[in-house]
Chains A and B, each alone.
Chain A
Amino acid sequence: MKIISKADLDLVRKTGLKKIEPGHPRVGVGLSSCGIAVGGMQIYDRIMDIIKRNGHDISLVKTGCVGYCREEPIVSVVIPGKAMVLLHKVSGEDVNRVISLALKGEVPNELALCKISDWDHISGKLVYGNGFEDIPDYNEIQFFKHQRKVILRDSGFINPEDIDEYIAIGGYYAACRALTGMDPDDIIDEVKRSGLKGRGGAGFPAGLKWEITKKAPGIDKYIVCNADEGDPGAYMNRNEMESDPHMLLEGMLIGAYAMGINEGLIYIRAEYPLAIERLTFAINQARDYGLLGKDILNSGFDFDIQIATGAGAFVCGESTALAASIEGKTGRPRLRPPRLTEKGIWGRPTDLNNVETWCNVPVIITKGAEWYSDIGIKGSTGTKVFSLVGKVENVGMVEVPLGTTLNRIVFEIGNGGAGGKSVKAVQTGGPSGGCIPVRLFDTPVDFESLNRAGTMMGSGGLVVMDEDTNMVDIARYFINFASGESCGKCVPCREGLKHLLLILSRIMAGKGTVKDIEMLKDLSDTIQKTSLCGLGQTAPNPVVTTLRYFNEEYEQLIGEESKGG
Chain B
Amino acid sequence: MPVSRKMVTITINKNQYQAEEGEILLLTTMRERIDIPHLCYEKALEPYGACRLCMVEVVTCGKTDMKPACTIHIQEGLEILTDTPDIIRHRSLLFELYLAEAPKSDVIQDMAEKYGVTKTRFLKKIVHDDPLAGKCILCGLCVRVCNEIMGTCAINFINRGPYTVVNTPFFQENQDCAGCGACASVCPTKAITIENSGDTRIMRSWSDTSVKLVSCETCGEYFASEKMIQYSSAILDPGIINEIKMLCPACRRKLVTRRMIGGISQG
Bound-state Cα–Cα, A557 to B171, Å: 42
Among the interface residues A498, A522, A531, which one has the most CB atoms of the partner chain B within 10 A? A498
User: In the complex, which residues of chain A have a beta carbon less than 8 angstroms from the beta carbon of B97?
Assistant: 491-492, 495-496, 499
Q: Which residues, 206 to 231 on B, are CB-close (under 8 Å) to A?
A: none
B162-A495 in contact (CB<8A): yes
**Contact at B94–A488, with CB atoms within 8 Å?**
no
B117 interfacial contact with A, CB 8 Å? no
Smallest Cβ-Cβ distance to A530: which chain B residue: B52
**B254-265: contact bitstring with A at CB < 8 Å (1 yes, 0 no)?**
000000000000
Nearest B residue (CB) for A495: B97
Complex formed: what's the CA distance from A494 to B68 in Å? 17
Are A495 and B160 also in contact (CB < 8 A) when A488-B138, A502-B123 are? no
Asked if B58 is at the interface of the complex by the 8 Å CB criterion, the answer is: no
Contact of B49 among A494, A498, A532 (CB under 8 A): A532
Cβ contact of B93, chosen from A484, A494, A497, A523, cutoff 8 A = A523
**A518 — nearest CB in chain B belongs to which residue?**
B121
Q: Is B52 a contact partner of A489 (Cβ separation < 8 A)?
A: no
A54 nearest CB across to chain B (Å): 56
Residues of B contacting A208 in the complex (Cβ-Cβ under 8 angstroms): none
Please classify how large the interface on chain B is, using the bins under 10, 10 to 19, 20 to 34, 35 or more: 20 to 34
Q: Are B47 and A483 in contact (CB under 8 A)?
A: no
Determine whether the beta carbon of A330 is less than 8 Å from that of B157: yes
Enumerate chain B residues within 8 angstroms of A525, measured Cβ to Cβ: 90
Interface size bracket, A side: 20 to 34
Query: What string of 1s and 0s marks CB contacts (under 8 Å) between B76-95 and chain A?
Result: 00000000001001100110
Cα A485 to Cα B162 with chains together (Å) = 9
A486 CB-CB contact with B under 8 Å: yes
In the bound complex, residues from chain B placing their C-beta under 8 Å from that of A526 are 89-90, 93-94
Identify which of B52, B98, B122, B140 gathers the most chain A CB atoms within 10 Å of its CB.
B52
The residue in chain B whose Cβ has the minimal distance to the Cβ of A330 is B157
Given A330-B157, A488-B162; A495-B90 close (CB under 8 Å): no
Q: State whether B90 touches A335 (Cβ < 8 A).
A: no
Let me know if A519 is at the binding interface, CB within 8 A: yes
Nearest B-chain residue to A485, judged by Cβ: B161
Task: Mark B49-73 against chain A: 1 for CB-CB distance below 8 A, else 0.
Answer: 1111001000000000010100100
Closest-by-CB residue of A relative to B98 is A491
Q: Is the CB of A492 within 8 A of B140?
A: no
A334 to B46, CA, bound (A): 11
A405 CA / B121 CA spacing, docked (Å): 42
- Assess whether B159 is interfacial by the CB under 8 Å rule: yes
What residues on B are CB-neighbors of A498 within 8 Å?
161-162
Report which residue of B48, B93, B100 has the largest number of chain A beta carbons within 10 angstroms of its beta carbon.
Answer: B93
Asked if B90 and A483 make an inter-chain contact with CB atoms under 8 angstroms apart, the answer reads no
Q: What residues of B have a CB within 8 angstroms of the CB of A531 in the complex?
A: 52
- Chain B residues near A485 (CB, 8 Å)? 160-161
Closest to A487 in B: B160
CB < 8 Å: which of A330, A491, A495, A530 contacts B66?
A: A530
Partner-A contacts on B (CB < 8 A): 47-52, 55, 66, 68, 71, 86, 89-90, 93-94, 97-98, 100-101, 121-123, 137-138, 140, 157, 159-164
Which A residues form the contact surface with B (CB < 8 A)?
313, 330, 334-335, 483-492, 494-499, 502, 515, 519, 522-523, 525-526, 529-532
Q: A483-B162, A488-B163, A531-B52 are in contact. List 18 more A-B contacts (CB 8 A).
A: A313-B160, A330-B157, A335-B47, A335-B71, A485-B161, A486-B160, A487-B161, A491-B51, A492-B52, A494-B138, A495-B101, A497-B161, A499-B97, A502-B123, A519-B121, A526-B90, A526-B93, A530-B66
15 contacts between A and B (CB under 8 A): A483-B162, A486-B162, A488-B138, A488-B161, A490-B50, A491-B98, A491-B137, A492-B94, A492-B97, A495-B122, A499-B100, A519-B121, A529-B66, A530-B94, A532-B50
Which 6 pairs show the lowest CB-CB distances between chains A and B? A488-B164, A486-B161, A498-B162, A526-B93, A495-B97, A335-B49
